[in-house]
Amino acid sequence: MDSRNHVEIKEELKKAAALASVKYIRDGMTLGLGTGSTAYYLIQEVGAMVRAGRALQAAVTSEATEKLAVSLGIPIIRPETGIKVDLAIDGVDEIDDSFCAVKGGGGALLREKVVARRAEQVIWIMDESKLVKRLGTFPFPAEVLPFGSAWAAEAVKELGGTAVCRQRDGRPFVTDNGNWILDISFSENIDFLAAAKAVRGIPGVLETGLFDKFCDRIIVGTKEGVRERRNPFKTSGNSEMHGAKAE
């Protein structure tokens, strides 16, 4: 009988997925490092690679990730003209069979999307609990300007959803960009994808946590082992990864 509790098992699956992703890292790469509990294991491993002499540098998606990366000796770059990201690796909050995902539970969705959009390749790492049949089981985040955030929430209501301003210590949660987060829910009878895309058009909404077919590959830690899937819906010329092993 397995004496580990649910949380311990989940963390082991996250770590397994993160460690499986490092085989795609090559010397000389500029990496996009994600934010969150799964990305934490990846960043630890990248730090070990740098200390072992691997030539790597990284663009980071949050101040928390930057602090961790710097503590591990990972060189940090800033998003400037002419700089590209070779490979971005990050976690997700949930992802469906069509490779549409929701991210941003940690509040870093805007920077995560900026880095992922600039990346030649994108890998998402996760434990198996993140695989869902329908998006919307996890609150859908939107980064909004504090000014007019209440009006943005009202506009979400007009779309058939509910929006709650994320709190921390009794005050609005403030992102690294100085903005707020609305956590949005839609009922099952509403077309989630259409509604989520409509949220992006609300004045004051800077970005949402909908990542529609962004990744080239997912790596999933399961109780039966690590599974990988290439994204068949992404048609960009850079979607094929050297040395990839697909299901």
State the CB neighbour count (10 A cutoff) for residue 211. 24
Query: Can you give the pLDDT at residue 79?
Result: 86
104 is in an annotated binding site: yes
235 is in an annotated binding site: no
Rounded Cα gap, residues 223 and 166, in angstroms: 33
Tens of pLDDT along 92-105? 999 999 999 999 99
The CATH 3.30.70.260 domain(s) of the chain lie at 140-208
Tens of pLDDT along 125-162? 999 999 999 998 888 999 999 999 999 999 999 999 99
CA-based nearest residue to 196, from 233, 236, 160: 160
Q: Which residues contact 92 (CB under 8 A, 6 or more apart)?
A: 101, 102, 103, 124, 126, 130, 211, 218
36 is in an annotated binding site: yes
Query: Can you give the pLDDT at residue 2?
Result: 62
The secondary structure of 100-157 as a DSSP string is: EEE--TTS-HHHHHHHHHHEEEEEEEEEGGGB-SSTTSS-EEEEE-STTHHHHHHHHH
237 is in an annotated binding site: no
Q: Give me the architecture of the 140-208 domain, per CATH.
A: 2-Layer Sandwich (3.30)
Tens of pLDDT along 42-95? 999 999 999 999 999 999 999 999 999 999 999 999 988 778 999 999 999 999
User: Residue 111 pLDDT > 60, yes or no?
Assistant: yes
Fold of 6-130+212-230: Rossmann fold (3.40.50)
Kindly name the residue from 66, 94, 112, 207 that is annotated as catalytic.
Answer: 112
Query: Can you give the pLDDT at residue 60?
Result: 98
Annotated active-site residue 112? The verdict is yes
- What is the band of 236 on the pLDDT scale with cuts at 50, 70, 90? low
Axis crossing angle, helix 6-21 with helix 37-51, rounded to the nearest 10: 40
The CATH 3.40.50.1360 domain(s) of the chain lie at 6-130+212-230
Across residues 149-176, what is the average pLDDT? 97
User: Residue 237 pLDDT > 70, yes or no?
Assistant: no
> Which residue reads 């509040």 in tokens?
107
User: Residue 246 pLDDT > 60, yes or no?
Assistant: no
47 is in an annotated binding site: no
